[in-house]
Amino acid sequence: MRGSTRTAVVVEDDDDIRELITHSLTMQGFEVSTASSGQAGLELVVATDPDLVTLDLGLPDLDGIEVCRRVRDVSQAYVVMISARTDEIDRLMGLEIGADDYLTKPFSPRELQARVNAMFRRPRTSGPTGTDEAPGPAVNGSASAATGGSAEIATSRGTTTELLRHGRIAVDTEGRVATVDEQEVDLTRTEFDLLSTLVSAPRRVWSRAVLLDSLWGPGWSEEHLVEVHVGNLRRKLSRLGPDGMRAPIRTVRGVGYRMEEPDAF
When asked if residue 13 is in the footprint of Ca ion (CB under 5 A), the reply is: yes
Length of the chain: 265
Return the number of the residue (42 or 226) whose C-beta is nearest Ca ion: 42
Determine the interface stretch with Ca ion among 11-19, 70-78, 161-169, 210-218 (rule: CB under 5 A): 11-19
Among 1, 39, 58, 217, binds Ca ion (CB under 5 A): 58
Binding-residue total with Ca ion (CB under 5 A)? 3
75-108 burial code (b ≥16 CB/10 A, e <16): bebbbbbbbeeeebbeebbeebbbbbbbbeeebe
When asked if residue 213 is in the footprint of Ca ion (CB under 5 A), the reply is: no
45: left (phi over 0), alpha (psi -120 to 50) or beta: alpha
| Smallest separation, CB 13 to Ca ion (Å) | 5
Among 38, 50, 51, 56, binds Ca ion (CB under 5 A): 56
Determine the interface stretch with Ca ion among 43-51, 57-65, 115-123, 223-231 (rule: CB under 5 A): 57-65
Residue 14 dihedral angles phi and psi, to the nearest 5°: -85, 120
When asked if residue 88 is in the footprint of Ca ion (CB under 5 A), the reply is: no
| Smallest separation, CB 208 to Ca ion (Å) | 31
Q: What is the DSSP string of 157-190?
A: TTEEEEEEEETTEEEETTTTEEEETTEEP---HH
8-30 burial code (b ≥16 CB/10 A, e <16): bbbbbbeeebbebbbebbeebeb
Return the number of the residue (83 or 188) whose C-beta is nearest Ca ion: 83
| Smallest separation, CB 218 to Ca ion (Å) | 31
Residues that bind Ca ion (CB under 5 A): 13, 56, 58
